[in-house]
């Protein structure tokens, strides 16, 4: 009976440790958030690729907790504005940070 009590305590502690390992912090995504951010990044890259006026090779996309960061060197301010607009219209995007610069 005593061993069953220890076993159940061990299982409970182990479960808490596993769950806390998947939790997010201010500077680190949890497992679910990381997957969501990866999906958002992929969707934004695809949307930029499908926009005929933009060169997807010029624009880098990173996502953290739904915030998309666009960076790179593009040929015009219109392209910067268009890329930001395209990114904002992707589902799951919380906000867009523009770090793109003109060539």
Query: Domains (ranges, CATH) in the chain?
Result: 25-102 (3.30.1340.30)
Task: Give the pTM.
Answer: 0.69
Mean pLDDT (whole number) for 3-18: 53
Check residue 64 and give its pLDDT: 94
Identify which of 95, 88, 101 has the alpha carbon closest to the alpha carbon of residue 43.
88
Are the beta carbons of 67 and 27 closer than 8 angstroms?
Answer: no
Check residue 96 and give its pLDDT: 98
* Largest pairwise CA distance in the chain: 74
Render pLDDT for 31-67 as a digit per residue (tens, 0 to 9): 555 569 999 999 999 999 999 999 999 999 999 999 9
Q: What is the 3-state secondary structure (H, E, C) of the chain?
A: CHHHHHHHHHHHHHHHHHHHHCCCCCCCCCHHHHHHHHHHHHHHHHHHHCCCCCCHHHEEEEEECCEEEEEEEECCHHHHHHHHHHHHCCCCCCEEEEEEEEC
What share of the chain in percent tops pLDDT 90? 66
Check residue 19 and give its pLDDT: 54
Judged against a pLDDT cut of 90, whether residue 3 lies above it is answered with: no
Backbone Cα Rg of the chain? 21
Are the beta carbons of 80 and 98 closer than 8 angstroms?
Answer: yes
């Amino acid at each position: 009976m005593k061993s069953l009590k220890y076993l159940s305590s061990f299982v409970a502690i182990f479960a808490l440790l596993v769950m806390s390992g998947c939790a997010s912090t201010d500077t680190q995504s949890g497992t679910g958030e990381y997957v969501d951010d990866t999906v958002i990044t992929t969707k934004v890259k695809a949307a930029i690729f499908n926009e005929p006026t933009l060169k997807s090779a010029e624009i880098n996309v990173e996502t953290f907790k739904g915030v998309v960061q666009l960076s790179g060197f593009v040929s015009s301010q219109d392209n910067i504005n268009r890329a930001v607009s395209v990114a904002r219209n992707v589902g799951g995007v919380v906000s867009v940070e523009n770090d793109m610069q003109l060539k």
